[in-house]
Amino acid sequence: MALFGLFGKKETGNETIPQNDVEKWILGTYAMWAAYADGDWHYIAGSAEKNKQEGASMRVMLRRDWEVSNKTALLDMVDYLTALYREGTDCEAEDIASGAWDLCRACQILGMGFVGGYIDRQEMVQKSAEVGRVMQKYYHSWAELYDSYVKGYRGWRAEQGGDAQKDIEAREELCRGLRNDPDGPCSVAWDLKL
């Protein structure tokens, strides 16, 4: 069965529509962010289009939230988020238990960098697939990935202060809904060759 049918958003000429199963898999790693940020998880970086306005919006978010204002800074941030989990690194069980928070965000900002014009689609997919293979090494299912993401988010959000519990519960509910949707982002095979 073609996954375009499952994803239900087939359009022609749209640069942010995933073109194959690998791209759909990558979108699944940060669908929770796209949905939380009022985007649409069916599209790269939650953006229904890649245009001047969306590009500017992504560049503002990358600069404001990540201190990323060019390709070099984007790739450096991805390296920073993934360094602990790459080959040859000793990962503690606790790092793995919450590590998807960083790994998923690495794919997220790569998507944002594509929509923002910092990297092209080929490099976005290549770098995201590299991060995805790391995810597949440490997690054995979408459920494990999403559980680790939520644990990492919970720790990060609690440090931010304010009404953390309300935000944590909302993010947990969002992740649970996405993970359990039979036509959702986790409908792509976890063990897909990336």
pLDDT digits (tens, 9 = 90+) for 120-161: 999 999 999 999 999 999 999 999 999 999 999 999 998 988
Residue 88 pLDDT: 63
SS3 81: helix
Tell me the two tokens of residue 148. 């680790």
Please state at what angle helix 121-138 crosses helix 71-82, rounded to 10 degrees.
10
Among 43, 48, 147, which residue's Cα sits nearest to residue 104? 147
- Separation between Cα atoms, residue 28 and residue 18, nearest integer Å: 11
Q: How many Cβ atoms are within 10 Å of 146's Cβ, its own excluded?
A: 26
Q: Do residues 120 and 88 make contact, with C-beta atoms less than 8 angstroms apart?
A: no
- Separation between Cα atoms, residue 113 and residue 76, nearest integer Å: 12
Residue 1, pLDDT above cutoff 60: no
Residue 11, pLDDT above cutoff 60: no
The predicted-structure confidence for 81-126, as pLDDT tens digits, reads as follows 999 998 766 788 888 999 999 999 999 999 999 999 999 999 999 9
Tell me the two tokens of residue 84. 């602990």
Average pLDDT (3-14) is 45
Q: To the nearest whole percent, how much of the chain has pLDDT over 70?
A: 92
pLDDT band at 162; cut points 50, 70, 90: confident
pLDDT band at 10; cut points 50, 70, 90: very low
pTM value is 0.90
Residue 46, pLDDT above cutoff 70: yes
- Residue 2 has, within 13 A of its CA and on its CB side, a CA count of 8
Residue 92 pLDDT: 85
Residue 86 pLDDT: 84
Residue 5, pLDDT above cutoff 50: no
Q: Which residue has the higher pLDDT, 10 or 116?
A: 116
- Separation between Cα atoms, residue 144 and residue 86, nearest integer Å: 18
Residue 69, pLDDT above cutoff 60: yes
Residue 94 pLDDT: 84
Element spanning 93, H or E: helix 93-115
Dihedral, 135, 139, 142, 145 alpha carbons, nearest 10:
-70
